[in-house]
Amino acid sequence: MPAPLNLWVNGDPVQLFVREDETLLDVLRDRLALTGTKRGCGEGQCGHCTVLLNGKAVNSCLTLAVEAEGGQVLTIEGLARGEALHPVQKAFVEAGAIQCGYCTPGMVMTVYALLRENPHPSEEEVREGIKGVMCRCTGYYKIMEAVALAASAPEAT
Ligand code: FES
Ligand code: FES
């Protein structure tokens, strides 16, 4: 039996009917066409589906849509400020931390959440913070550089 769902996505109100087993990832990608959030493993292992729910980074593939009732969701589409990239996105571009790009939305959202909680993390804290997001391409060095660059930018959070 579909249940009503009311939430805010990137600042916009959303009202839908969802199945009990429908995930937040399903809703974002398949109902709202917000395909920036990637579907990787679908079981909480890769972090590619990371979005913020009420300010916390979550794996949207493991979050039932009904759990987001009344919540504030931020996806990669909501991070840029108008035409301007968010400082975390800009840092990834400038550091060359993007290769195939599949992990990038989840990685950027994870870094954004990390820097909101801890604006100047140590290298160890960055490693710990991003360990839930798998990148098969970069070897993580450029990503570490991007985080350091973002952390040094004003208004990165
Ligand atoms: S798709 Fe969600 S953790 Fe992999
Ligand atoms: S850039 Fe390809 S998986 Fe990270």
CA 116/CA 93 separation, integer angstroms:
20
Q: In this predicted structure, what is the pLDDT of residue 153?
A: 84
Task: Give the Å distance between the CA of 121 and the centre of ligand 2.
Answer: 22
- Residue-by-residue DSSP string for 34-98: -TTS--SSSSSSS-TTEEEETTEEEETTTSBGGGGTT-EEE-GGGTSBTTBPPHHHHHHHHHT--
Q: What is the pLDDT along the chain (157 residues), one digit of tens a residue?
A: 899 999 999 999 999 999 999 999 999 999 999 999 999 999 999 999 999 999 999 999 999 999 999 999 999 999 998 889 999 999 999 999 999 999 999 999 999 999 999 999 999 999 999 999 999 999 999 999 999 999 998 776 6
Ligand 1 atom closest to Cα of residue 49: 2
Determine the residue of 50, 110, 136, 143 to mutate for testing ligand 2's pocket, defined as the one with the most ligand atoms within 8 A of the Cβ atom. 136
Determine the residue of 46, 103, 107 to mutate for testing ligand 1's pocket, defined as the one with the most ligand atoms within 8 A of the Cβ atom. 46
Domain 87-152 in CATH: superfamily? [2Fe-2S]-binding domain (1.10.150.120)
Task: Give the Å distance between the CA of 44 and the centre of ligand 2.
Answer: 17
Residue 23 in tokens = 């995930």
Q: What's the CATH architecture for 3-77? A: Roll (3.10)
CATH 1.10.150.120, the chain: domain bounds: 87-152
The one-letter code for the residue type at 100 is C
CATH 3.10.20.30, the chain: domain bounds: 3-77
Ligand 1 atom closest to Cα of residue 41: 4
